Amino acid sequence: MNGSSERRVLSGMRPTGRLHLGHYHGVLKNWVRLQHEYECFFFVADWHALTTHYDDVSIIERSVWEMVVDWLAAGVDPQHCSIFIQSRMPQHAELHVLLSMITPLGWLEQVPTYKDQQEKLKERDLATYGFLGYPLLQSADILLYRAGWVPVGADQVAHVELTREVARRFNHLFGREPGFAEAVDAAMQGMGKKNARLYAELRKRYQEQGDQDALSTAQALVRDHSSMTLGDKERLLGALKGSGKIILPEPQALLTTEERMPGLDGQKMSKSYGNTITLRDTPDEVVKKIRLMPTDPARIRLIDAGNPDLCPVWKLHEIYSDDRTKQWVQGGCRSAGMGCLDCKKPVMDAVIAELEPMRSRASYYESNPDILHTIVSEGCGRARELAEDTLDEVRSAMGLNYR
């Protein structure tokens, strides 16, 4: 990774329309935190939606905008990150096609989601080129921005792993520009005499003795150099490991503690189970949904003692309630000292309070579509600059920058 890519985060989401609390607790809360710590790019992966739902294109547009509004509602802040839409950026397609030239078919066939999804979505015909290639499209999404970090769920780690392999192969094949050794020498001179000597010494220690500390010290020396061009940094970093120039840095999955949001029935919250609370549910809707939640089936009457471990409402307390409330639930439930409706009340209040600011932000953006469109255009603009920089280097490494 070079200096700036270490600070850069990229993640995408397929447009699924309105989002729910599962998306918020599992993904968006994390994005909201990351936007203050990294240079973040979040994009709508609308082409990815087509890889499985190419026969159902009428819903894409609405789903895209509903989802962007929900991102903003959740607190993803265009002042602190860039939001863009994949299909506005043809650069993803160009990098995808170029990477496809060097990607062995076996690598794609071995991605676990390939067979899993075909199994799962049996009713769809997924024996398509686009579906096989979609993890590589994801690699292009990531490498196009030279993102160092990719926040993803566990199911997507294999895709980041594929991306690392593709980047490695690319750098190996195309990182050897003519005159590489001379360019490295020149870059070393640019570091100043003392640093150049230190770099050479550390490189030797790493290459001859496999000294990992020497490697990290040398990497830091290069990265932290204040006046060196990005290209020279990449050359010096590449030369450390004995590869060529690192054109596409390898990203890492940013696995965050995934909060598994329970749904209204105690299963994982998911649209397909019909057990969701959406980010835009009104207080009335929240009350109604939680009131209807099933509880421990043993508690038929108020005088029947219950067991919170068997109750979906308890799972919500675990997310929303403080210790005192939790003790109150445990005691009241097990001793049949309180009714289920009383027990549900603090959860209702907490969810309503959590959604309050989201609903108001969502309604702001819904009634100001111009602002929404501007946010996305600006995000696309920032994304485009990075994407074009990468593609310039990729094209020239692949012998395509002639006129």
The window from 12-20, 216-224, 303-311, 313-321 that contacts ligand TRP (CB under 6 A) reads 12-20
- Label residues 231-260 b or e (16+ Cβ within 10 Å = b): ebbbbbbbbbeeebbbbbbbbbbbebeeee
12 binds, among ligand TRP, ligand SF4, none (CB under 5 to 8 A by kind): ligand TRP
CB of 136 to ligand TRP, least distance (A): 11
11 contact, one of ligand SF4, ligand TRP, none, CB 5-8 Å limit per kind: ligand TRP
Neighbours of 212 (CB within 10 A): 10
Residue nearest to ligand TRP (CB): 12
Instruction: Give the CA distances from residue 195 to residues 31, 234, 250, in Å, rounded to whole numbers and listed in that order.
Output: 38, 16, 26
Q: b or e along 60-72 (b: 16 or more beta carbons within 10 Å of the residue's beta carbon)? A: beebbbbbbbbbb
User: Which amino acid makes up residue 338?
Assistant: M
Q: Which of ligand TRP, ligand SF4, none does residue 235 bind (CB under 5 to 8 Å by kind)?
A: none
Query: If binding is defined by CB under 6 A, does position 150 make contact with ligand TRP?
Result: yes
Residue 156 contacts which entry, ligand TRP, ligand SF4, none (Cβ below 5-8 A, type-dependent): ligand TRP
For the chain, report the end-to-end CA distance as a whole number of angstroms. Answer: 31
Smallest separation (angstroms) from ligand SF4 to the CB of 287: 15
Question: Hey, which residues does 384 pair with through a beta bridge?
Answer: none
14 binds, among ligand TRP, ligand SF4, none (CB under 5 to 8 A by kind): ligand TRP
What is d(CA 390, CA 148) in angstroms, rounded to the nearest whole number? 14
Under rule CB under 6 A, residue 98 binds ligand SF4: no
3-state secondary structure of 151: strand
- The closest of 21, 17, 35, 14 to 315, measured between CA atoms, is 21
Structure tokens at 251: 């990203």
- Judged by beta carbon distances under 5 to 8 A according to partner kind, the member of ligand SF4, ligand TRP, none in contact with residue 141 is ligand TRP
Q: In this structure, what is the dihedral angle of CA atoms 230, 236, 241, 244, given to the nearest 10 degrees? A: 70
| Residue 281 or 296 with smaller CB distance to ligand SF4 | 296
* Backbone phi, psi, residue 333, to 5°: -75, -50
**Mask 289-308, x = binds ligand SF4 (CB under 6 A)?**
------xx--x------x-x
Binding window for ligand SF4 (CB under 6 A); candidates: 108-116, 151-159, 240-248, 336-344: 336-344
Question: Considering the rule CB under 6 A, would residue 45 count as an interface residue with ligand TRP?
Answer: yes
Residue 306: which of ligand SF4, ligand TRP, none does it interact with, CB under 5 to 8 A by kind? ligand SF4
Bridge partners of 268? 262
Among ligand TRP, ligand SF4, none, what does residue 329 contact (CB within 5–8 Å per kind)?
ligand SF4
| Residues in Cβ contact with 227 at an 8 Å cutoff, skipping those fewer than 6 apart | 190
Binders of ligand TRP: how many residues, by CB under 6 A? 13
Q: How far is the CB of 322 from ligand SF4 (least distance, A)?
A: 16
30 binds ligand TRP (CB under 6 A): no
Name the residue nearer to ligand SF4 (CB basis): 150 or 269.
269
Q: Kindly identify the residues of this chain, within the stretch 309-328, that bind ligand SF4 according to CB under 6 A.
A: 311, 313-314
Q: Which does 170 bind (CB under 5 to 8 A by kind): ligand TRP, ligand SF4, none?
A: none
Size of the site for ligand SF4 (CB under 6 A): 13
Going by C-beta distance under 8 Å and a sequence separation of 6 or more, which residues neighbour residue 174?
244, 247, 394, 397, 398
Using CA atoms in the order 218, 388, 15, 123, what is the torsion angle rounded to 10 degrees? -90
Nearest to 21 by CA among 268, 388, 380, 201: 268
Q: Give the residue, chosen from 23, 48, 225, 361, that forms a contact with ligand TRP under the rule CB under 6 A.
A: 48
The encoded tokens of residue 349 equal 């209040």
Nearer to ligand SF4, 160 or 313 (CB): 313
Shortest reach from residue 155's CB to ligand TRP, in Å: 8
Q: How far apart are CA 297 and CA 309, in angstroms?
A: 11
Which residues lie near ligand TRP (CB under 6 A)?
10-14, 45, 48, 138, 141-142, 150, 152, 156
